[in-house]
Chains A and B, each alone.
Chain A
Amino acid sequence: MSIHAVSVNSVSKKFRLYHERNQSLKSAVLRRRRSVHEDFWALQDISFEVPEGSTFGLIGSNGSGKSTLLKCLARIYTPELGSITYKGRIAALLEVGSGFHPELSGRENIFLNGSILGMSRKEITRKFDEIVDFSGVEAFIDQPVKNYSSGMYVRLGFSVAINVAPDILVVDEVLAVGDAEFQDRCKQKFVQFREEGKTVILVSHAMDMVQDMCDQVAWLSHGKLVATGEARPTIASYLKSVEPQ
């Protein structure tokens, strides 16, 4: 077997952009054969490999397709062409706290959210204290989460997600939220992840952080892969390209 945690093979993802509101029967009937949509390729022929146990960054300007690629990795989108193969269990952290039920308590939501993310009840019970500890909301754990501040909400969501203990973790710009102390804790958690030999794929606009954390990066522009390679030189050439002339 390969030592690649993830292999992305010629992945292309297409969105349909409709010129009118498509989601009505009338327009579908009127449209019939004559197609009024335009195909927009958000990703074109992307190939790269992520070595097992490495931290891998995706960089590129807004709209370059980073989130779309992460969603393909997380199986939320299905690419039209190409394939993605994994070695191990993958978990995605695209937005924390999705799936929290506002009326339920923090405790109930940990179990609910954990199972949405693919953990078994036993697993959650075993990690429960760790999750609560990491989130720092012990005092409110039996309160409905709608009474939480947005910071607490994010922390609890993040704690659950980070404790899923996947082999591969996919993270999209979620580190931008939370206070400095919490961000620090998250970084430590990533370091710990890496020490455990796990693979992390992350998107961030904070280049110093990407440089700090990532071994390799892939640079996307307008849905195409510009370069992949060692973090430092690739980031340098990316930064150079976006500099005003």
Chain B
Amino acid sequence: MIQYFKDLLAARELLANLTLREVRGQYKRTIFGRLWSLLNPLATMLVYTIVFAFILRIQPDAGDPSGVDVFAVWLLCGLLPWAFFASVVQTGMGSIIANAGLVQKVYFPRIVLPLSLTGSIGINWLFEMAVLGVVLLFVGSFFLPWVPLVLVMMVLLAVYATGVALVLAIANVYFRDTQYLMGIVMQIWFYLTPVIYPVSLLKEPSESVGGLLGTPITVLDVYRLNPMERYVEIMRNLLYDNRWPAVEDMGYFVAIAFLSLAIGVVVFRRFENRMAELI
């Protein structure tokens, strides 16, 4: 294990270069370049705002204590982290197969392939969040004191997403169904996460159902097992409401994030040996 981390440390320059390859290669020969990275979430935001705020009339509570009450901004506070997560999971999962030529011809720690995607997608996300920051200031959210914590949380989401991507990247080498299955899972997961609707919407139905199967466990308790649910809540607390997130939410997410990475690294290391002959 120690040797493994030494190898990885030795490959940090490679990791940086592969990350740059993704970042630089991505928008070559486009007129708008990096702006495309913004246009995508913007278009999604527009569609969701029209559908959910105007047609379905979903009304999240105004930020407390910030008093901000703009659906589109509220949406983005959850949507941008989700988009980053989904993108790392889905591209990371395919990263070994996408680089089959390299894996079969050159030896290097294979883990740098999914890691470099976390890096390059993370750089785009940082850029998106910076723009969101400007918008937040504009609509009256004074989140600046929370910036350090927001940055820590961003790193933690990268940790969580990377762990998930590592396991799936291995699974995908052995079973190509993984990527198609995950296409569906990610869609369901998105709707199980309060990105486009507030959790408060679930409180009433959950209470009316009561404890499940005679236990005191409610639908909401089960719903809140989803780490991304906690994460979106935390980010909204910081960016939109401007207040401290619940300690148990933070604790839960931190624990899950590191557990995810630990499992990811162990699984990846265990199965990476036969990668080159299977792809």
Interface residues of A (CB under 8 A from B): 15, 23-26, 28, 71, 74-78, 92, 94-95, 98-99, 101, 103-104, 108, 111-112, 115-118, 120-121, 144
B204 within 8 A of partner (CB): no
Q: Are B175 and A24 in contact, with the CB atoms below 8 A?
A: yes
Residues of A within 8 A of B99 (CB): 99
Residues of B within 8 A of A77 (CB): 276-277
Main secondary structure of the interface of B (DSSP, over half): helix
B203 within 8 A of partner (CB): no
Nearest 6 CB-CB pairings of A with B = A98-B105, A75-B107, A78-B273, A103-B28, A25-B177, A115-B14
Q: Are A78 and B105 in contact, with the CB atoms below 8 A?
A: no
Q: Are B17 and A111 in contact, with the CB atoms below 8 A?
A: yes
Residues of B within 8 A of A99 (CB): 99, 101-102, 105-106
Bound complex: CA A9 to CA B177 (Å): 38
Interface size class of B (residues with CB under 8 A): 20 to 34
Bound complex: CA A120 to CA B107 (Å): 16
Q: Are A98 and B101 in contact, with the CB atoms below 8 A?
A: yes
Interface residues of B (CB under 8 A from A): 13-14, 17-18, 20-21, 24-25, 28-29, 99, 101-108, 174-178, 181, 273-274, 276-278
Q: Show 30 A/B contacts (Cβ-Cβ < 8 Å), sorted by A.
A: A15-B277, A23-B174, A23-B176, A28-B175, A76-B104, A76-B276, A77-B277, A78-B273, A78-B274, A92-B106, A94-B104, A94-B105, A95-B101, A95-B105, A98-B101, A99-B102, A99-B105, A99-B106, A101-B21, A103-B25, A103-B28, A103-B29, A104-B24, A108-B24, A112-B18, A115-B14, A116-B17, A116-B18, A117-B106, A144-B28
Nearest residue in B to A26 (C-beta to C-beta)?
B177
Bound complex: CA A121 to CA B13 (Å): 8
How many A-B pairs have beta carbons closer than 8 Å: the answer is 78
Bound complex: CA A108 to CA B28 (Å): 13
Q: Are A92 and B17 in contact, with the CB atoms below 8 A?
A: no
Bound complex: CA A167 to CA B194 (Å): 56
Residues of B within 8 A of A108 (CB): 24
Give A22 Cβ to nearest chain B Cβ, in Å. Answer: 9
